Structure 1
Amino acid sequence: MTNPNEITPHLFRTEYSKIVAVLCRSFDIKHMEIAEDIASETFLKASEYWALNGLPDNPAAWLYTVAKNKAKDYFKHLSIIEKNKKDEASTAEKEHPTIDFDTKNISDSQLEMIFVTCNPVNSLETQICLALQILCGFSVEEIASAFLSKTETIKKRLQRGREALRMHHFTIDSLSEQDIHQRLETVLATLYLLFNEGYFSRTNDFLIRKDLCLEAIRLTLILTDNPFTNTPKTNALLALMCFQSSRLDARTNDEGETILFDEQDEALWDKTLIEKGNYYLIESCQMNSTSVSKYHLEAAIAYWHTSSAKDKWPHILNLYNQLVIIEYSPVTSLNRAFAFSKVYGNEIAVAEAEKLNLTGNEYYHGLLGYLYSEIHPDQAIYHFEEAIRLTKSKPEKQTLQKQVNLLKTK
């Protein structure tokens, strides 16, 4: 018999945001907190009832029924309180909104919530926090852990972000296809950053890190189910997420230390996710589009990283050359320098990397430490120690210190 205490957290991750999305769509985003309260009360009742009576045959359907009944009770209570108000007629119209948990309405409601949450009125960092809480059901404490921030800081950020959402309410139904496409760029950017927050997470909590990646994939999948948002960029981003996620289990050891790409155990790579990545990358290229986005290039780079082809590095370098032109960033430039070293050797790559002069960047020093390891150990130690000083990530500090110790014993 399945233990309810084991399944409820999983259901919370998968069903909480669905319930909130459907309720918000039924009675306005301004009442988001009420929708969240109803969803929370639903799960509280589930944990209590299931502990005594065991799991129902269909736990998700049970949750939807309870949430629907609680929503009806809320509106009945509201109508009683407001029955003497002058706007009684308008209240009556909203007394019993349609609350439907069929597959299409859940999907449409979640799509709408993605666009609501990823509103450019907020900063991208705030959008990610809102996405984690509203779309993924993460607690304030979990979000603070993911960002290595204080709980109070995250609370204030969420409060400001939510207030902005209430002031800029919209629904998917009110948007034209052109409007959706204009907002889609922000949505994709938020989901991209949400995924990266997991993949390049500074926290050593592997479960939170993996959940971030899986939630970003789940939300991007919703976009591919709608004809307006199923675009080449959306599919390219989903391909990138699948390729990158396929190597998650191989990126850290049991102690939480980062494992360098060259040392990863390929047997731990998820072949199913690689196949899905191939599918969505092909889809992104077959759609009617003449433009190549950064998501296409990064997905193609990630594809080559999962390939066992011996001549893959020139292809990767060529893709990075294109990527730095489309969207320059220090990370892209450092990754290009690493690919450069694979093609032309470490000694030439050192000069290429040092041109970047990113002396305040831990990854810059980490890369130079790697490049100098075989040709100038003392310089390598210096750069590794600089990277240790600059990074805030405990797992990265451990990995870098390990490299220093190895060099000092040679």
Structure 2
Amino acid sequence: MGFSLSVLGKFFKLGLEPDVFTFTTLINGFLLENRVAEAAALIHKMMMGGNCQPNVVTYGTLVKGFCMKGNNSAAIRLLRKMEEGACKPNLVVYSTIIDSLCKDTLVDDALNLFSEMMSKDALCKEGMVVEAEGVVEMMIQRGIEPDTVTYSSLMAGYCFRGEMEKAQKVFELTLSKGSMVNVVSYSTLINGYCKHKKVDEAMMLFLDMSHKGLVPNTITYNTLLDGFCKTGRIQDAQKLFSKMQSCGQLPDAQTYSILLDGLCKNRQLSRAMQLFCEMEAKKLDIDVVIYSILLEGLFITGKIESARDLFCGLSSKGLRPDVRTYTIMINGLCIGGLTSEAKNLLVEMEGKGCSPNGCTYNTIIRGLIRNKETSRAMVLIQQMVEKGFSADASTTELIVHLLSKDEVDPALLPLIK
């Protein structure tokens, strides 16, 4: 550590700024020498400094140090500080403290922290549903009754994995508790069914909750609307939209964007434009996301000129196109055979401080290949790789198809290597 701190001194003499990795390494070094107070002082200095804030690894390192010293209360205080700030604790931070509490035979405290972690979906969101099951079973065995949020978190985990039968069983368990059943329980399961395109099952749950006197909220309606739109059932989506309003539940901007997207993707542009006018009349916040949906709808119906006009008019509305807006434009122009214009747009977006992402590169590369401009596509493939992006499944399939032909395009020869 002596030499390490000398190197840190050299940093400052040379006018170099230590980054979060530098400080985290030093904090770890202090902890290895059992100098917890100095490690804590360094993280405090980082927090006060403003320029180099600790990240989740930095916090996790100090939490581990407190736990190694048996100072669980200090570890929990740091956990609470993380929860209040911008850098939220992850599964590792929670697990470190829980492990320490168990080793100190504070099992009830450990289980309570487990329950709290479950309520934040920490286990289920990280795909650790088996561990989550164990936690719930342990809670019940020790007489700690899981609440609706805990059960909903477990349901969400099953839904995320597509294990809808298990999610349904957990839901039925909440039903058996009587007073525990609420809109959250229903909405979680409805969302799972919709995500896996089982909209009829989701609708049955929706009707069941209404029969039980539970009032569906905007989130529930939005979830079902999204399910109907993604399965091409636009008429059902429009009926639900009308029912929502007749039941006194006001659609929000998200509701309108879901239905607008569904109408556009199903080539019902005139109805989409009516809905857009309705949004304007209600003075809803129409952001660049809504305009991007409309742009996609115009391209789907072959209205390239209208799409170009709408895009060019965004700045007059005080809106800046984001990476998705540019990608939609590039895709539409490529489909229309206007590859040079699409390439110019790629250059323009970078010039305006909107960096293309992997999706943007894959979109224009596919567009160039489909328009038989393989050489230009190869230049962009190289550029994409240099920027740390890679070909997605659709682009790879297209390239493999070209390579499998009897006569391989000479421009593609570098890819064979």
Superposition TM-score, scaled by structure 1 size: 0.38
Structure of higher RCO (CA pairs closer than 8 Å, 6+ residues apart): 1
